[in-house]
């Protein structure tokens, strides 16, 4: 029996496992923020990142997740963050932009990213140019503007345009610009942006990588050299990913290829059926031959054309679009994506909410636009629910 007093036993008992050769099939969740060492030399080395001593410096679960994401992206390394937006900000701030420098980003992309970059550029005196990067003249515009940093989206949110990442990368190379690609919509299953010439691949791993809507996570994958300043700044800023979120995302990531294959197949089926409906003005899906970027999508996307579909309801205003969301019986109205269940949102009031009305109009984001993250339900059930909701929108 221990000679320690009860208070001491309560604090210290059960803190070390007995020696075992067993290796757990599923990694443990390391919730402790602090590690301690018998050797002061080992502790000193750990403070330089040679071992796990304090989770703001490094942590076991985030290290495992970063290793897995880097492997999926075909990257040397990966840095994880507490959200996708934190990852996008970290990439921006790592560019050491100076007053008068230029940044290019998609004019038809995620509205919150645009709002973030507008604020950062305004504070720093940096010029921000929002372009339609899927247009044929986009590489030429980059060469004219000579930006220091370019952000693209593999598939834009919410209009599902598909830029030619190879052509953008070549233009960036000629003018010495760093190219980051937010590849959240296709995930590494659908596009490995680094293999197309991008310098950074960014994921809101909250979405398809996690796959279950239970963790906020962001990742940046790149060369070790490019990630070194991001890792150093994360240590100082403290925008680290928690161990449970890392564990959940690693768990979800294990089934990414299986899930994404089904999501993409379902999305293609949903898009084809929606395109036949007289209730809809237009259907956006890169896999449709009618999509203006279909040929580019065939060249830069793998494993299908992605799991996202969007459509415009014929003659609908915001109020009618809201009624469509309320009339859904299977799909869930929600401002995110990447879950096993189908999620539907009104684009102008959600993903494009941070854009001004003028910016939405310039991008072509109308009040009738609905974005769909296609789930793993039977695709015909998804179509019937969507079209049924459109039909029921005017019913009392």
* CATH at 372: 3.90.1150.10
Both 200 and 249 in one domain: the answer is: yes
Which residues are tagged catalytic? 56, 110, 182, 207
Answer yes or no: are the C-beta atoms of 152 and 135 closer than 8 Å. no
Both 234 and 273 in one domain: the answer is: no
Quote the pLDDT of residue 12: 78
Both 342 and 381 in one domain: the answer is: yes
Quote the pLDDT of residue 393: 80
- Range(s) of the domain holding residue 48: 41-253
Quote the pLDDT of residue 237: 94
Both 263 and 203 in one domain: the answer is: no
* Within a domain: 34: no
Quote the pLDDT of residue 115: 95
Both 336 and 195 in one domain: the answer is: no
Both 229 and 319 in one domain: the answer is: no
Quote the pLDDT of residue 1: 43
DSSP string covering 261-319, please? HHHHHHHHHHHHHHHT-TTEEEEE-TTSTTSTTHHHHHHH--SSS-SEEEEEETT--HH
Both 78 and 167 in one domain: the answer is: yes
* Within a domain: 74: yes
* Within a domain: 15: no
* Within a domain: 2: no
Residue 381 to residues 126, 360, 377, 392: CA-CA distances in angstroms? 48, 31, 7, 16
Q: For each of the chain's 396 residues, which pLDDT tens digit applies?
A: 457 886 787 667 667 777 777 788 888 999 999 998 999 999 999 999 899 999 999 999 999 999 999 999 999 999 999 999 999 999 999 999 999 999 999 999 999 999 999 999 999 999 999 999 999 999 999 999 999 999 999 999 999 999 999 999 999 999 999 999 999 999 999 999 999 999 999 999 999 999 999 999 999 999 999 999 999 999 999 999 999 999 999 999 999 999 999 999 999 999 999 999 999 999 999 999 999 999 999 999 998 999 999 999 999 999 999 999 999 999 999 999 999 999 999 999 988 898 889 999 988 899 999 999 999 999 999 999 999 999 988 654
Quote the pLDDT of residue 391: 94
Quote the pLDDT of residue 13: 67
Looking at 184, 218, 253, which one is the last position of a domain?
253
Prediction pTM value: 0.94
Structural domains counted in the chain: 2
* Within a domain: 17: no
Looking at 235, 253, 271, which one is the last position of a domain?
253
Q: What is the DSSP letter of 34?
A: B
Both 296 and 361 in one domain: the answer is: yes
CA dihedral of residues 53, 56, 58, 63 (deg, nearest 10): 140
Both 211 and 278 in one domain: the answer is: no
Q: What is the DSSP letter of 196?
A: G
Quote the pLDDT of residue 7: 74
Q: What is the DSSP letter of 193?
A: G
Q: Which of 391, 346, 394 is CA-nearest to residue 371? A: 346
Residue 54: which CATH number? 3.40.640.10
Looking at 227, 253, 279, which one is the last position of a domain?
253
Both 270 and 246 in one domain: the answer is: no
* Within a domain: 12: no
Residue 294: both structure tokens together: 């279909």
Both 273 and 291 in one domain: the answer is: yes
């Amino acid at each position: 029996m221990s000679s320690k007093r009860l208070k001491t036993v309560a604090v210290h008992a059960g803190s070390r496992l007995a020696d075992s050769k067993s290796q757990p099939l599923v990694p443990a969740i390391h919730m402790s923020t602090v590690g301690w060492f018998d050797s002061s030399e080992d502790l000193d080395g750990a403070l330089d990142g040679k071992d796990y001593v304090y989770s703001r410096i490094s942590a076991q679960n985030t290290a495992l997740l970063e290793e897995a994401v880097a492997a999926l992206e075909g990257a040397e390394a990966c840095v994880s963050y507490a959200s996708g937006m934190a990852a996008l900000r970290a990439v921006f701030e790592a560019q050491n932009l100076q007053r008068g420098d230029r940044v290019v980003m998609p004019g038809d992309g995620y509205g919150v990213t645009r709002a973030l970059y507008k604020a950062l550029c305004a504070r720093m005196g940096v010029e921000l140019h929002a372009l339609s990067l899927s247009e044929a003249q986009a590489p030429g515009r980059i060469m004219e503007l000579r930006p220091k940093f370019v952000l693209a989206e593999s598939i834009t949110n919410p209009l599902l345009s598909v830029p030619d990442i190879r052509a953008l990368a070549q233009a960036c190379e000629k003018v010495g610009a760093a190219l980051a690609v937010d590849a959240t919509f296709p995930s590494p299953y659908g596009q490995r942006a680094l293999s197309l010439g991008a310098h950074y691949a960014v994921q809101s791993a909250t979405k398809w990588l996690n796959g279950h809507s239970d963790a906020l996570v962001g990742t940046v994958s790149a060369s070790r050299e490019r990630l070194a300043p991001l890792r150093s700044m994360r240590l100082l800023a403290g925008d680290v990913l928690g161990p449970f979120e890392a564990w959940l995302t690693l768990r979800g990531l294990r089934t990414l290829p299986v899930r994404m294959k089904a999501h993409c197949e379902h999305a293609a089926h949903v898009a084809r059926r929606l395109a036949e409906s007289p209730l809809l003005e237009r259907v956006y899906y890169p896999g449709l031959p009618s999509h203006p970027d279909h040929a580019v999508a065939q060249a830069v996307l793998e494993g299908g054309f992605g799991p996202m579909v969007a459509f415009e309801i014929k003659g609908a205003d915001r109020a009618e679009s809201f009624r469509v969301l309320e009339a859904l019986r299977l799909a869930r109205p929600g401002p995110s994506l990447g879950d096993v269940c189908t999620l539907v949102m009104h684009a102008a009031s959600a993903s494009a909410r941070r854009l001004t009305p003028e910016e939405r109009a310039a991008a072509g984001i109308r009040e009738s636009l609905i974005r769909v993250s296609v789930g793993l339900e039977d695709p015909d059930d998804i179509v019937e629910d969507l079209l049924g909701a459109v039909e029921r929108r005017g019913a009392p």
